[in-house]
């Protein structure tokens, strides 16, 4: 029932949306973006509903090992995120020295 409601909300054919959901593999997902324009002609790619494959297992293992997925009780990333240093991203506390 939730899929029918979701498909109607985004204006997608319920059977087509249901099929797309059933074809998803483990950790794959669909993203709908209403800001994307509708295709101008039949046969053009419709970028409003996009399928994303799962991240490779080695990427998931590395980010998990580095603690990237860990969050504080408030849902904010840890101040000293080792992945931020690895990727040379600014730290949450403003200390972007590596």
Tens digit of each residue's pLDDT (9 = 90 or more) over 45-73: 889 888 889 888 888 788 777 775 555 44
CA 4 to CA 17: how far, in whole Å? 8
pLDDT at 70: 54
Q: Residue ranges of the domains in the chain?
A: 2-52, 55-98
Q: Are 15 and 6 in contact (CB under 8 A)?
A: no
DSSP annotation of 41: S
pLDDT at 11: 85
Q: What is the mean pLDDT of the chain?
A: 74
pLDDT at 87: 45
Picking from 8-12, 24-28, 94-98, which range would have the lowest pLDDT averaged per residue? 94-98
Residue 90: pLDDT above 50? no
Q: Token pair of 7, please?
A: 């498909």
């Amino acid at each position: 029932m939730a899929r029918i409601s979701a498909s109607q909300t985004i204006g997608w054919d319920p059977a087509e949306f249901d099929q797309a959901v059933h074809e998803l593999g483990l950790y794959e997902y669909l993203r709908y973006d209403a800001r994307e324009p509708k295709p101008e002609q039949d046969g053009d790619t419709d970028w409003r509903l996009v399928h994303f494959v799962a991240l490779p297992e080695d990427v998931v293992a590395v980010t998990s090992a580095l603690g990237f997925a860990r969050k504080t009780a408030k849902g904010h990333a840890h101040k000293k995120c080792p992945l931020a240093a690895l990727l040379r991203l600014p730290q949450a506390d403003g200390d972007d020295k590596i």
